[in-house]
Structure 1
Amino acid sequence: MLTVIAIAGASPAFALSVSRGGARGWTEQSATVMNLQDTQDDGHDVKAEYYRTAHPSDKLTLWNKQAYDGPRFEDNDGNAWTVESGKYSTIFKMQVCEVYNNWPDSCSGWVE
Structure 2
Amino acid sequence: MSRLKVVAGAVIAAVLIMPTSSAIALSAKGGGVTATSPWNSDSGVISVYDGSADGDPGKAEYYRQASPDTKRTLWNHSGSGTRVVSGDGSRIIKFQACDENNAAPDDCSGWVAP
Q: Which has the larger radius of gyration?
A: 2
Looking at secondary structure, tell me which structure has more strand per residue.
Answer: 1
1:19: how far off? 1.2
Normalised by the size of structure 2, how large is the TM-score? Answer: 0.73
Q: Structure 1 residues 13, 66: CA separation in 2 closer, same or farther (over 3 Å shift)?
A: closer
Structure 1: segments with no counterpart, 5+ residues? 1-9, 69-79
2:51 is aligned with 1:50: no
- The CA RMSD over aligned residues, in Å, is 1.9
Looking at secondary structure, tell me which structure has more helix per residue.
Answer: 2
Normalised by the size of structure 1, how large is the TM-score? Answer: 0.74
2:67 is aligned with 1:66: no
Q: Structure 1 residues 14, 89: CA separation in 2 closer, same or farther (over 3 Å shift)?
A: farther
Q: Structure 1 residues 14, 54: CA separation in 2 closer, same or farther (over 3 Å shift)?
A: farther
AA at the equivalent of 1:104 = P
Residues 11-61 of structure 1 show CA distances to partners (whole Å, capped at 9, x for unaligned) of: 274432111221011012332111001012121210100000010110000
Q: Following superposition, which runs of at least 4 residues in structure 1 exceed 4 angstroms of deviation?
A: none
Percent sequence identity over aligned pairs: 43
Structure 2: segments with no counterpart, 5+ residues? 1-19
Residues 55-87 of structure 1 show CA distances to partners (whole Å, capped at 9, x for unaligned) of: 01100000012221xxxxxxxxxxx50001001
